Structure 1
Amino acid sequence: MMDLAGWEEEQHTRIKLDGTWEFYWNRLLTPEDFRRTAQDQSRLPAPAYMAVPSTWNGKVIDNQPLSAYDYATYRMVLKNLPADGVYAIKKTNIRFSSTVYANGQKLFADGTPAEAAANYRAGNLPQIGFFSAEQGDVEIIVQVANYDYINAGIPVSPYFGGQAAMMDFQQKTMTQEFSTFAILSALSLIFIICFLTAAYYQRKDFTLLIFAAVCAIIAVYNGLIGERPCICTSLGHLLRCCTK
């Protein structure tokens, strides 16, 4: 639970949803499950609790260490939302598939969380979802499953905030990260051209290739973290090609 009674949106436009979440191991629960539980307390077991951000593998529940290759549901209630409005939840990294709900509404799914590996599909790209909420409480439910990666859970903070502020931050971050990727890629290309030009005049300088490699490695690294502009741009191009 997180109390938003003192939240001043003008000063703190985004809130990290860090803290202790309810955690239901080996359950993929929906908002409907919790509505039924409110009427019949015997339907669900008492929750365990899991810190966010963190990974669940290695944690112990009921004296049993948790495997990375399994599934679970996280739940948090934001108490005392100060005003009605359109809000957003942003996830950057949930390993390695997820579905996110807010106030009973499915915001987005990344991959397909499933109880069996045969029905599971991996997916882990930054996503943002919007929903309307009235003053009061906001229930957030996150289904997570992993059958691919060496650790699982929510290792990076999700965010909550107003629609306009979250979109503005998203666009600025994407622009900054893509610009960094583009500049480093261009520098790498320039160093390669300089090396080839020098080689043409029989004055090879292999330090130029080293600089090119360093810029390329840093560009790829920056393109694969944060908003991951390298992956998102490639997927967008692929989808456009497939729909032509």
Structure 2
Amino acid sequence: MRYLSAFLLVIQVMSFVACSSQHSRKTAPSVINGMLDLKNWNFETDGPVKLNGGWEFFWKKLLIHGFSDDKKIEKRSFIINVPGRWNRLNINGEKTGPYGYATYHLRILLKDKDILLGIKFPNIGTAYSVYINGKKITSVGIAGETKETSAPKIFPHIVSFIADKNQLDIDIHVSNFHYYEGGFWS
């Protein structure tokens, strides 16, 4: 009888947990070729979305989309998987190592604007600045083009912001001149 009671208690707890989940089992879209379409996503019922997938990657360029003068450079991107390291890539015949700098770019399409969103920034190696629609929302360390103009720092954190448009251009300037791996680590 004691085992039956324990079994029923486990079933009740599992049922409660399954029924109390606020998020649907809808599969979240992935980032493809630097684009994430969330027009059919409801954050309240569908839950958070990971920004994993193929981001646009501009090696040895620090760009802010919509504000850069050289459109030819912007069109010459490479797709890189996030999370992932930029070590040992082959970009236009040039092999990358751990040291360097780049812009990661992602365009997100939303159904609504003027909504509160948040982004969790994990370990990015080893300094970065984040711009959304041209406005800097956070930076960790100093992302620079040389070892002398950059300063490393690792600080995972979450940043909240108001999405004032239904199209978000996220540019992340990342530099690494101090560690044996560069890029989005996790």
What TM-score range do you get, normalising by the shorter chain? 0.7 to 0.9
- Kindly indicate whether the alpha-carbon contact (under 8 Å) linking 1:36 and 1:43 is maintained by their aligned counterparts in 2: no
Structure 1 residue aligned with 2:92: 62
Query: Match for 1:94 among 124, 133, 148?
Result: 124
Does residue 7 (structure 1) correspond to residue 41 (structure 2)? The answer is: yes
Secondary structure of the residue aligned to 1:14 is coil
CA distance in structure 1 between the partners assigned to 2:164 and 2:148 by the alignment: 39
Question: Which structure 1 residue ranges, 5 or more long, are not aligned?
Answer: 157-244
Bigger share in strand = 2
In the superposition, the TM-score normalised over structure 2's length comes to 0.75
- Kindly indicate whether the alpha-carbon contact (under 8 Å) linking 1:4 and 1:82 is maintained by their aligned counterparts in 2: no
| Count of aligned pairs | 152
Report matched runs for 1:9-158 at 5 Å: 9-31=43-65, 34-37=66-69, 41-42=71-72, 44-134=74-164, 136-156=166-186
Bigger share in helix = 1
**Aligned-residue RMSD, C-alpha:** 1.8
1:63–1:4 CA distance, 2 compared to 1 (3 A): same
CA distance in structure 1 between the partners assigned to 2:59 and 2:74 by the alignment: 11
* Higher CA-based Rg: 1
The structural deviation recorded for 1:150 is 1.0
1:133–1:60 CA distance, 2 compared to 1 (3 A): same
Name the amino acid aligned to 2:162: S
CA distance in structure 2 between the partners assigned to 1:123 and 1:35 by the alignment: 27
Question: Which structure 2 residue ranges, 5 or more long, are not aligned?
Answer: 1-34
- Kindly indicate whether the alpha-carbon contact (under 8 Å) linking 2:38 and 2:110 is maintained by their aligned counterparts in 1: yes
CA distance in structure 2 between the partners assigned to 1:85 and 1:60 by the alignment: 39
User: What's the CA shift string for 1:106-146, capped at 9, x where partnerless?
Assistant: 11110001111011100111122222213521111100000
Name the amino acid aligned to 1:5: K
- Kindly indicate whether the alpha-carbon contact (under 8 Å) linking 1:21 and 1:51 is maintained by their aligned counterparts in 2: yes
- Kindly indicate whether the alpha-carbon contact (under 8 Å) linking 1:74 and 1:143 is maintained by their aligned counterparts in 2: yes
